[in-house]
Structures are given as C-alpha cells and as structure tokens.
Amino acid sequence: MNSYPTAEGRKVLLALIETIDTNGAYLSEIDGATGDGDHGINMTKGARRTKEKLGDQNVTVPQGLDMLGQVLLAEIGGAMGPLYGSFFIDMGAACGDSPAIDKEVFGKMLKAGMNAMQDLGGAKVGDKTMMDALVPAVEGYEKAVAEGASFSEALNRMAAAAEKGKEGTRDMIAKLGRASRLGERSRGILDAGAASCSLILKSFSDSFQSAEQK
Amino acid sequence: MQRIFNDPSRVTEEALEGILLGHPDLLAKTENPRVVRYVGSPVKGRVGIVTGGGSGHEPAFVGYVGKNMVDVVSVGEIFASPSAHIFRDAIRAADGGAGVAILYGNYAGDNMNVKMARRMVGADGIKVETVIANDDVASASKDEREKRRGVAGEILMWKVAGAKAAIGASLEEVIRTAQKAIDSTRSIGIGLSSCVIPAAGKPNFHIEPGKMEVGIGHHGEPGVKVDDLKSADEMAQIALDYILPDLPFNSGDEVVVLVSGLGATPVMELYIVFRKLTELLGKAGISIYRPYVGNYFTSLEMMGVTVTLMKLDAELKALIAAEATSIGLTQPKLS
C-alpha cells in the first residue's frame, strides 16, 4: 500500500464516525474524572449529525473531513468543537485535489491539522491535552517518512506514538482547560482529548491500510 | 436521576423553547435557534451587548437578555460553550452599526469559539471587542488572574455595560466600563453537592455527605479545599475571608453584594448567608449599596452558594442604579 484513493472518502469518514460513536461513553468517563464528562457526549453528537448529513452520498476524503469539521465547528461548541473542527477542516484543505493520499500528502494533512489546533488552543506538549498525543504522532510519522519507511510503516509509527503520548498524559498535571483547576489532582488520570486524538489517528491509519487488504 | 425532562439530548432545545414561549414580551427568536435577542434589539447606532455560555446555569445566560441588559445571547449545550457559528450569528444579530461588545466568562471553549466567531465576522465590517470575566478568586492565584474563571460577577458586568450602552456610549466606553466592572468584582462559591448533566446520567463529581467544597466552580470544578460542612454564618465568613483581601475591599468602600444559589439551595438559606454577610461587612466598615439575593447563576441542581462583591465608584454606582428588565434581574431606577 503506497497510497489511498482520495475519491474513497466515505469509508474514511464512516470509520471516523464509528470510532467516535463507539468510544463516546469511554471518553465521557475519562473526561468525567477531570472535566465535566461531556467530551464523549459532544463528540458523539457531532459524529451522528455528520452521519445524517452524509446519508448515502459519496464524498472524497477532503469533502468528508470538511463535512465532519464543519458540523463540529457549527453545532458542537465546547472546546472540542472548534479544536477538532479546525483540525479536520484544515486536514481536508491540505489534501487539496491530490488524486491519491500518499505518505507525503498525508504528512502535509497531519501537519496542517496540528497547526490549526495549536493556533487555536495554544496548548504545548506537557499541558495534558490532545497535543500530547498529536505532536509526538506527527513527529513519529515525519521521522518514519524521513527514514524511508513505507506509508503503512509510517502510519503504524504514528498510531503507536499517539498511543504512547496518550498514556503519558496519565502522569501529567493539567495546565489548560477545565482540568487545569485540579492541579495535582489531575495526575493519574488520562486526558480525554489525548485519548480521542489517539483513537482518531488510529482510525486514519486503519482506513488507509485497509485499501491494501481488499 | 430524579429530574424532569423528555429526551436527555434535547434538554437545552426544549428548555429554550419554553423560555421563549414564557417571555414573549422580552425575548425574540433569530434565524439561529441558539441565538436569542431582546425584542427591542438591536438599536441603530447603539453598541450591542452579546454574551453566551453553556446551558444549565439558568437564569444565566438567556435570563439577562432584556432592557438595559444583554441584547443577544448565544446558547450552548449544558456546560458547553456555544459553537463559533452561534457566537458569529449572535454578533450579527446584535449589530446596530456602533459595534458589538462580547462580555463572557473565562473558559477555554468560550475563548476559542469567540475567537473563531470574531474571525468569521471580520469581513462583515462589524467592530467587535471583548471583555472576559474572571471574578472567581478560588480558580487561580491573584498573580495569575488571567486564568481565573468568570462566575456570578458576570451579571454585574452585564448590568453595568448594558446600562452604559443604553445611554449611547461608544464601543470603547462600553468595553472600558465592563472591564472596570469585572476588575472591581470578586466571587467565590461553596458547593455542598454535585449535579447531573441529563445526557451523562450520573453525577459530575462527588462531595461526601458532611463535607463542603470551598471555591467550587460553576461546573463542579474543584475548589481550594474540601472542609467539614459548616454553618451558614461560618460560610459567610469563609467567603469574605477569600474575597475581601483579594481586591482588596477596605473600610469605607461601597459595594454591591450578590448571593446566588447553585440550583438546589432553598432561597431562605441564601438569606441566612446574606444576613451574616451584612453583619460582617458592617463590622468591616463596608456599606452595601445594593444587594441581590436569589438564584441568579446556577449549576443545574447543585447545592451551594456563591458570594460576589463589587466595589463601586460613582460611575459604576450610577450604572448599577439604572432601571433594568430581564428574567433574572428586574429593578426600577435606584436612588
């Protein structure tokens, strides 16, 4: 597998929706420990709304990402709506009209998504947010590509770095958002944003790699 | 869950529909179902006041839309910021050509959505400025005031800015007075029990029986300490112990006092706290110009109380004195 056909966005979008929907309760539970427990509820609401909007139409990958991002931005609110909304919209925009998503194109998409989140949220690695999964994931991916790894290998290394980054939030003290008010008491609990980010990146990895197995 | 609703995912929508039906003399719909305006707004040539936030704090935020108060409100899901699009539509609905002041509380989601909304209306040519309320003394230390949350003090900020806009002040003047209002205001909350977001179906956090959390936030954010449950008089003392030195409020000051329940507190108990506050402030040489006691800014069915003090100067006093009409705050012109 060297690339994924851009035209087959429906599959990528449905996989993202499914991932968010099935993990809603889990995300809310983690969020409830440090935030207000609505992370999963709101993400799930956004995913379901996107599914309704998608209906049975075919979309390209950038169209699908834009659709999901616009729903999160327009209808979900909270902190996750604008953060993930911008993330998906800018990822889609970075894909542009490339006919296939290869490791270079996806690298650009990841970077654009990360920049959008950084610009809006202002979080840094170590603040106990989704950036703790996203930044190492993007770095891991870029390093893999630089070392000449295949697209599949780079995706696997991205997903593994995201997972590791997510686990790392357990030992951190939250510095931003509602959990930051907890100070020391936020230690020992995973960050819900990092958890959802890791799941989302894994979903991308699985969708792109499934192209080969068919 | 002993609560009253239909579909847990439609609590915000259905409550808002009911509020609109209940107050046709005050509130009007806009094209965006999550944006509600005062029937008399916008006024051409006058600054529009916008606020917004998550639901579950009723009468905040929609309850402060009215005459000489907030012009347009953005309504979010329970405890979640309204989306950027909702804030964007609220800005547009409030614009009377003299600019729009967005006066809201310091929460990550609201900050991001307001920031994006401002970008979205950039091309419209609407002048937009913001004041971010941060009156909660328990949410960060004094040297990190920019990290503090906005709580019930927001109401006094809206009252002041709404009155200022109503007399035809410029956007710059409205922003200056709103900023002065919040800079002169300090609040603290004491929580005795948790609250349940219907869609979550279980308590957001826990407070053990016989305990209270000093400095609790409006969404159950942990406070500065968990203590044994104290008497109403002791709670009044604790609240002032945090609030008074922070500004500081000094002997000779004249203040507004706002005592709000968090949703489940019997109103008579708020007055027991207020009674003691009056005594303690008197002893400290601080006089009360105007008290507000009741459920002004709640957190679903949380048990607890918030205490807010605003130090007045001549300008703030005159603006607090102005007549106002809204669901949450209605008063004749004060002398």
Residue A18: DSSP 8-state? H
User: Is residue B277 in a domain?
Assistant: yes
Question: What is the tally of structural domains in chain B?
Answer: 2
Cβ-nearest to B79 among A36, A74, A182: A36
Four-point Cα dihedral B98, B104, B106, B111, nearest 10? -60
Q: Is the CB of residue A180 less than 8 Å away from at least one CB of chain B?
A: yes
Which strands make up the sheet holding B48-55, listed edge to edge? B27-29, B35-38, B72-78, B48-55, B100-105, B128-133
Mean pLDDT of A43-64: 95
| Residue B206 designated active-site | no
pLDDT at B130: 98
Q: What is the percent of chain B where pLDDT is above 70?
A: 100
pLDDT tens for each residue of B150-193 = 999 999 999 999 999 999 999 999 999 999 999 999 999 999 99
> Are B94 and B191 found together in one domain?
no
- Alpha carbon of B145: minimum distance to chain A alpha carbons (Å): 13
Q: Examine the domain organization and report whether B165 and B221 are in the same domain.
A: no
Q: Please determine, for residue B77, whether its predicted confidence score (pLDDT) is greater than 60.
A: yes
Residue B262 lies in a domain: yes
Q: Distance (Å, rounded) from C-alpha A169 to C-alpha A192?
A: 9
Angle between helices A192-213 and A151-168 (to 10 degrees): 160
pLDDT value at position A17?
A: 96
Q: What is the mean pLDDT of residues B47-53?
A: 98
Domain boundary at B126, B152, B183, which?
A: B183
Segment B102-131 mean pLDDT: 95
> B60 and B127: one domain?
yes
> B195 and B147, same structural domain?
no
Domain A3-213: give its CATH code: 1.25.40.340
Same domain, B123 and B265: no
Give the active site residue among B23, B57, B85, B218: B57
- For residues B52 and B171, state if they share a domain: yes
Residue B199: pLDDT band (50, 70, 90) is confident
What is the pLDDT at residue A102? 96
Q: Which residue has the tokens 């968090």?
A: B262
Domain of residue B77, CATH code: 3.40.50.10440
Whether B140 and B252 map to the same domain: the answer is no
Residues 106-145 of B with CB under 8 A from A: 107-109, 112-113, 115-116, 139-140
C-alpha–C-alpha distance, residues B227 and B212, integer Å: 5
User: How do residues B227-243 score in pLDDT, each as one tens digit?
Assistant: 999 999 999 999 999 99
Q: Are residues B24 and B161 in the same domain?
A: yes
Which CATH number fits the domain that encloses residue B242? Answer: 3.30.1180.20
Answer yes or no: do B12 and B136 share one domain: yes
Co-location of B65 and B197 in the same domain: no
Range of the domain at B85: 8-183
**To the nearest whole angstrom, how far is the Cα of B227 from the nearest Cα of chain A?**
16
CB contact under 8 A, B77 and A42: yes
B219 is catalytic: yes
* End position of a domain, from candidates B183, B218, B246: B183
Q: Report the distance separating Cα B95 and Cα A84, nearest Å.
A: 29
Cα nearest neighbour of A32 on chain B:
B204
Judge if B159 and B304 occupy the same domain: no
In B, which residues are within 8 Å of A85 by CB distance?
84
The reply to whether B127 and B194 lie within a common domain is no
B312: CB partners within 8 A, 6+ apart: B184, B253, B254, B255, B256, B289, B320
- Is B80 at the interface with chain A, CB within 8 A? yes
CB atoms A32 and B204 under 8 Å? yes
Q: Is residue B3 part of a domain?
A: no
**A177 touches B at CB < 8 Å:** yes
Rounded to whole angstroms, the Cα distance separating A51 from A198 reads 21
Do the chains contact at A79 and B76, CB–CB below 8 Å? no
The β-bridge partners of A208 are none
* Domain presence at residue B292: yes
Chain B residue numbers touching A181 (CB-CB < 8 A): 139-140, 149, 217, 221-222
ipTM of the complex: 0.82
Task: Provide the shortest C-alpha distance from residue B285 to chain A (in Å).
Answer: 33
CA distances from A167 to B27, B48, B318 (A): 48, 46, 55
Model pTM?
0.91
* Within-domain flag for B207: yes
